[in-house]
Amino acid sequence: MKPLRPTYQRNGFCLWLKRLEAERFKTKPDAGDEAIELTVDELNWLLDGIDLWRT
């Protein structure tokens, strides 16, 4: 399930989370990079399991 904003149900709020398979994202950053800047769409694609760096 995709992470969603909290939704209210009759007795309280509900928050959905996503567990990553193999405990990692499919990324190809350089070892020397300190951080990767992503757009909102790119982050959603990573959470959906899409490999952004596939050639």
Mean pLDDT score of the chain: 72
**Is 40's pLDDT higher than 80?**
yes
Does residue 26 have a pLDDT over 80?
A: no
User: Position of tokens 């769409």?
Assistant: 41
Q: For residues 3 and 14, what is the distance between their CA atoms, to the nearest angstrom?
A: 11
Q: Report pLDDT for 44.
A: 82
Residue 31's pLDDT is 66
What was the pLDDT predicted at 2? Answer: 55
Q: Please count the CA atoms within 13 angstroms of the CA of 38 that sit on its side-chain side.
A: 16
- What pLDDT digit, counting tens, does each position of 4-25 carry? 677 777 788 877 666 666 656 6
